[in-house]
Structure 1
Amino acid sequence: MTSHNSLPNSLSEAETRRLKELALFVRTETVRLISIAKVGHYSSVFSCAEIFSVLYGDVMALRRAEPKWPERDRFLMGKGHAAVGLFPLLAEWDFFPKEWLDNYTRLGSPLGDHPDMRKVPGVDFSSGSIGHALSAGIGMALGGRLNRQDFSVYVLLGDGEMQEGQVWAAAMAAAHHRVGRLTAIVDRNRYQLDGTVEEVINIEPLADKWRTFGWDVHEVDGHDVEALALLLRRLKTDTAREKPACVIAHTLKGKGVGFMEREPGWHLGYLAPADEEKVLAEIKAKAGVE
């Protein structure tokens, strides 16, 4: 077990810059790929771009060009509609040729609107039907325990997904079985397809609910790469932890693009070429990377 006292309490400037650049890469590649598909989930990716960046750029144990490495950390997406932001990172890890991205969603391409573990190397779970990912993540973590493997499992959940009963059945099971290598990250952007989460079905008090179900709960600014990285590092190195962990990441849907942040209709949409240029310029200007 690694002592918490041995962990740094801040990131270096270089580490912070690298993670911000990776989040910028996720956003700009999302715009590029959706321009190929002609429709896509911009704002859902933009709220979790920093989460993707920290997981794939700092926290997760992965091996380049080895998507099936048995000891790798696992990642599952409840909000599978944000896969367009994940695929560029998998290509950066050389899990599949970068040229695949250029044909995103085109006929015959393995890269669709949702992740398919049968077609896309590096995808650990096929998702899109909301509510199932946490259950699958528990199974993977328990499988690792039985096989005496030390990998961690991360499950990214949408906050609208908290309205699914299976999420809470899985939460109860994970606490009962003391699945300490499991971390659920809730992208708390407060919007879902039909409006605000509170208007559709209110999920608060969310942190108290997870605690009541027996989880170790943490809240963080989901766009602060340093805070995210330090928290997830600490959770990962606490190998004596028996409780599963829930990280509620407070985010902004459409983060980085003003009109997307103010208009929930951008859950699914398409940018005309002139608007795309303006969006890319705004994203780069707000990225915090000179």
Structure 2
Amino acid sequence: MPETTVNYPVTTPPNPRVESFKNVLKRLKKNKAAVVGGFLILFFVVVSIIGPFFTPFDPSEQNHVNKLAGPSAEHWFGTDHHGRDIFSRIIHGMSITLYIGFFSVLIGAVIGVLFGIVSGYFGGKMDAIIMRIMDVLLAFPGILLALGIVSVLGGSLNNVIISVGIFSVPAFARIVRGSTLSVRKLEYIDAVRALGASHFRIIFRHVLPNVMSPIIVQATLRMATAVLTASGLSFLGLGAQPPTPEWGAMLSDGRNYMWDAGHVAFFPGIAIVVVVLAFNIFGDGLRDALDPKMKS
């Protein structure tokens, strides 16, 4: 009898990383507040990119004839004490605010993660030295430390980014150190080390990918702190300099007209509140979604 060949379907095993990402996304979707925060952040990013090309007025154009005008069909958010359109300035200032937040958090994350992972992996005297430096930085309130740094460097947009980035370093370093201490005790790390892998390979190939979850959550939450701190520095006159349409500086200008033209301070203040709230609620939802205890 002729032999018959049976072809069984070949099934590809699911990628663990893809499945893990799907599970995180599924849990994140269940958190309605986090979804709203995520959409708001996406909206802010899109507006900061394309919004400046469609604003009705030049953010620096002065019109003293129409100064301190209230909200109207022509000027949606009114005008400031120089007659500049507040809506156009807020749209242009959104890109500045997100620019400060992103790059200051990036600086803090890169330096903090490097210090934290080296401290947690090697331990000993190196761990003690790095953590004592972080303790010194943590001894100062965040806004006070940033204020001291930017006072030394001088008031400018780039110096604000540097100062906020430096005061963000200890938070990343301590979180990454704690996660690294747990990961380095796992058996597969000992196996990789026994096979002759270098410290560099172990750290960046095996340890770092396993501590990314707390880094991502901390970066998201830190964005809100960075935006708030940068706005505070600009409010004190140590951040973006006039006529840059930075929200903190706009809020500082509007405080002199709180009773006569409250809209001058109201709209920049609301913009800061909404952005900070969006990053906070999205970061909280992301933290819950990435929590290993919630995995099924």
Q: Which structure carries more helix by proportion?
A: 2
Q: TM-score, normalised by structure 1?
A: 0.24
Q: Structure 1 or 2: larger strand share?
A: 1
Q: Greater CA radius of gyration, 1 or 2?
A: 2
**What's the TM-score once normalised by structure 2's chain length?**
0.24
